[in-house]
Each structure stands twice: as C-alpha cells, then as structure tokens.
Structure 1
Amino acid sequence: MTTLPDEMTVVGIDQPGGPEALQPARAPVPRPGAGEVLVKVAFAGVNRPDVAQRRGMYPPPPGASPIPGLEISGQVVALGDGVTNLLPGQKVCALVTGGGYAEYCLAKAAHCLPVPGSLPLDAAAAMPETLFTVWHNVFQRGYVREGETILVHGGTSGIGSMAILLGKLFGVTVIVTCGGADKVAKALEIGAAHAIDYKAQDFVEEVARITGGKGVNLVLDMVGGDYVPRNMNCLAEDGRHVTIAVQGGPKAEISLVQVMLRRLTLTGSTLRARSDEFKALLAQEIHETVWPLVEDGKLRPVMDRTFALADAAQAHERMEQGGHIGKIVLKA
C-alpha cells in the first residue's frame, strides 16, 4: 500500500461568486470508508454544475464533499472495507458527488470504471459525468431506439458532443443547435447529422424542414424556460422531452392540449443527488453496454483544453465564456 500524506492541495469555494471564488487550499487527505476507494487524482473534469455550485446555486447534497468536481481519473491508492472489484494501483475513472478538484478524492467503488491502456487519463476524466448523464437521459429515461431522430441543444458542449458520439454509435440521428457558424462546423465534424445555428435560424423551422415535417422523437433540453414550448413544437407524435438543466430559466408555459393530442412525454432528471444504488446500476449498465466501445477506441470524448488544478478559475472563465468545444479538464 502507498503511504498517504496527511494533507493535500484542493481548490475550494470560500464564498459564492465569480471564478475568483475558486481558491487553492490545504485539506486533510480523506480515508475510504466501506465500499469506497481513495483515488490519487490525475485529472478532474469541469462541468456546468461546478459553475453553478461556485455561484451558490447548486449546493452539494447531504454528505457530499463541499469541494467541487464531479468526475475524476487516476490511480486507486487505498481500499475501504468490502471492496473486492478494484486493486491498489489500478487506473480508474469515476463519477463522484464532489471532491474532484483535489489531489486525492474518494469514490464509491461501484461508481468507478476501469481505464483501458489505450485511453489517456485526461480523456478518462472527461467521460463519467457526460456519459452517465446522456446514457440515462437519452437511452434509459428517453427510450431512444436505433433509427430514431433526436434534437440536442448545445451541440458542442460536453453533453452535446457525447450525445452526438453515442448517437452515431447506436444508430440514432442527432440534430443539434449551436451558437455560430464555427460551432456548427465543429458539431458536424464531431458527427452530428445536422447542426442548426440558433443565432441565425429558427430551430423549430429548421427541424421541420430537416425531418420533412415529422419532427424528432426526443429533445434533450439543457435550456428550459421559453425553449420548452418551442421544443415541443419540434416533437413528433409520441415524442419525449427530457430536461437536464434550466440555463434559460426553471419555468415554462406549455399547452397541455398538445401533450394530450400528440401523446407527448415530459420528463427530466438530475444525477448528483441520485442514490448510490442507482448510480451503481447505471455504472454497471454502461460498463456492459458502452465501455467495450471505449476499450476498442470507438468512443473518445471531445477534448477542449487542460488547465492546472491551481488554475481552476481560468477553466471556469473559459466555460462561462462559451467558446469551448467539448470537455475542459484540470490536471491535479
């Protein structure tokens, strides 16, 4: 077993605010409890929920670390009681409820995925949050099947790019919206079947044109607000609308008559506060269904930029400016 230090560097939030609220600090190295492992972090993914937490709008669930960071990659350095599926020294990536912006991070053993030798650790850290989110909301909650068509907003974001990649691998036609011609070109390069510049075109009209008036089977919505009735106008009969974020506002006015006449389903979810058991089952399904594609090199996240852990504030600035394509990660 590795001899662990008593303290580590973390990036925490003293007071909610702008990127400058992220400050390096010293904290005790945690010790794994039953069913947990301690990971020496190589990289940590940066996600929109981290930004919301920093602003004071997304507090960690009870019992979670107050340190931001929802996904990590690295090496297992200590095992808690009852852990039999992982070994010290093993490379893993993991979905965590917090604590990723640190040199060491606790993870539930059941929420870890083994990192194949062909997968760089920076790319491994960029996968759990988006992969778990898209798999659950598009394929499980949204019941998407081969041959269907979906609309995804934010096509060049971490979530959007993962939705494109998974769609291509599982026979789903993916239409995305993006802000600007450059992002449209990038989305098409990633593999979107169609990309709509929402700044220059009405996405509802474009979806109708692209689908020959039939509409899409599912909308993956990260905007909420006044996008919801417009999204509903994009849906085919028996269409599903899945909300995973409300960047445009938490309230929407919709026609229930449309819901009834066209048999629409409106649902949504958040991942962080779900039970450990739910996440373990999700990890297991991903390991069985998607991970072979990672091992074969067929699925790789779209990477934007890597920042040092101490430069987490700059990473958040980049995310908030909106120019990134794919995933931003921190090097611990």
Structure 2
Amino acid sequence: MRAEIQNFVTQIEKSLDLLAQRMDWETVPHRLEEFDARVEDPNLWDNPDAAQQLMRERQNLVDALATYTDIKQDLSDNIELIEMGEMEEDQEVISEAEEAIRALTATAAAKELEALLDGEADSNDTFLEINSGAGGTESCDWASMLARMYVRWAEKKGYKVDLQSESAGEEAGIKSAAYKISGNNAYGWLKSESGVHRLVRISPFDSAAKRHTSFTSVKVYPVVDDNIEIEVNPADIRIDTYRSSGAGGQHVNTTDSAVRITHHPTGIVVTSSEKSQHQNRDIAMKALKSRLYQIELDKRSALVNEAHENAGDAGWGNQIRSYVLQPYQMVKDLRTSHETSDTKGVLDGDLDGFMAATLAMDVAGKSRAEAQG
C-alpha cells in the first residue's frame, strides 16, 4: 500500500478510536439491551415527554453505532480490494479503492467532529446576537462584516437563517443584529463563537489611511425547545412596543410592532422587530428563555473552565479571536491558537476549523474536570 493511502488509513483509524471513545464502546451492548427493555414497557407512553426522550437517546446510540460500523466495514473492504488488486496487478481496482479511502477519510473526520457535539443543547437551533463595540462607524462596519460571515457559514451548512432584529449604523454597517439559525447542531457549532472579536485593518473610512482596531461582541444562545422547562415570572419582566429604526425600505415598520422585553432580575433585554407585534412578542420571549437557559449552562460549565485554566490553557476570556488584515493577513483564535492566513475565506464563512479546535479543547477540559471531580 502506498504511503499516502496508509496515512489516510491511519487518519480513519484515529477517527474510529474517537467515535468508539465517545460512545463508551464497551457499554454499548448493555445500553442497547436496556433501551430495548424499556421501550417494550407497556407503561412507557404514560409519560409522553419521558418516552420521547428515551426514544431519542436510543436512536442516537443506534445511529452512532451504525456510523462506526459502516466506516469500519468500508475501510476493511477497501483495504482488501487494494491487497487483491496488488496481487493481481489490477491498477483499476487499486485506484477505485484508493479513491474510496480518500472519500472515507473526509466522512470519518466529519463524523468525528459531530461526535463532539453531545452537550445538553448542542442539537438545538440557536440565537446569534452581534453588537458593535466602541469605535463608531468603524465598529459598525465590522459588526456587519461579522453578520455576513455567520450568515454565509450557516448557508454553507444548509441551515435556515431568520433575521429577528437589526439596528443600522449612522453612517455604515450595523449597531446590532439578532438572528435565529435553525438546523441540526446549530447551537453546538456556534456556541464557541461567543465573545469579543477584534479587527485590525486600514480603515476605509479614514482619509489618512491609518490602521484601526475595532471590537464587536457575539453572543450565542440555544433555542429552548419543548423539552427544556424555563419559567419566567410575569412580574419580573417589562414588555415595551416601539417603532423599528431599520435602515429603510420594505423592512421598516409603520406601526409600533417591534417588541422589547426587559428581565429585571438579570438585566437581560431582548428585542424583535421583523414580524408582526404578536410574532415579535413570541420571538422575544423565546429569546429571553434562551438567554436564561444559557446562564444555567454557563454555571454548569464553571468546572470545565476551571480545568482549562488549571492546565495552563488559554483562558475563556471575552476576547476570543483576532482578525488582522493589515499589515499582514492572519486570523487567530486566542483560546486554541488555531490560525490561518486565509482571511478572505474566513470572512466568507470558512469557520469549521476554528469551531473544531474549540470543540476539541472543550472535550479535553471536560475530561480533566471529570478526572478532578
């Protein structure tokens, strides 16, 4: 077998090892037996919510097992084909099997990443909020660049993107924007993007062509589905309606249909201005519940963060990534040190490498936390 193909085989085997580890391979048969026994319980559907959760957990395990088994079998089959082709000196068989192994390497790597998305809300849809920082027009323009970056990323993933509210900058760009991004594992992928993003470039708004540094914050929250109970006391919130102040055109509201909800105990403020008042109220309430749920998730992850810090890893501080366009081109994540000089690709939505590096670091932190606990 050629060295190049042997390297691909090694990569696939590493992906299989991780998939087995994430499934807790030795316990799979026992857990499947347990699931099957519970599914056959005639009283299962007395509690529909619990039954649906059980069926989801069982199906997730079945799917993970099928993925592992299929990849392992495909790898074995194609290795045998290469060996047979070499014995019979059949170059066509060898070439077809080698091409299949190349494709399988990409499939295994993708499944390896998906296996890291096993958090409580990772499979949920997500809310994404972008807010420009200090710096006026320059920061507003940076916020619009980030908004475009995430929309392009979501579109490449095949996710649905709904703009929920937007506040235009005075001269260019946006002061803020909020999106709902819908698709499998949308929150799991995007959760690592929460934080402050820093841009360094020659400002197109500076006649002296000086280099400027701008900051924009990104916040990501899981959409709370019917399986997650979040209670909001009506006495704790204030609901205001107002007229949208969009950039103009068909999206400007001519009535006071935009909705703002303020949650007094936490100071959280959420808005929605792209729909009717009734729809905006519903959207804003869902966004509030998601923010409150994220607070709870953050509390639970405190031990993970502590494990990162104790191990000397980059902290999970507010500033997470730096985008330098001048005097050189580099995007670097300050937590994982993952970097690339392809700034155009990143700003066009090529973010999977950064997200994967953060996911891997998060898994390492969880492992350390469990070891310390």
Report the TM range for the smaller structure's normalisation: under 0.3
- Whose strand fraction is larger, Structure 1's or Structure 2's? 1
The answer to which structure, 1 or 2, has the higher relative contact order (CA under 8 A, 6+ apart) is 1
- Whose helix fraction is larger, Structure 1's or Structure 2's? 2
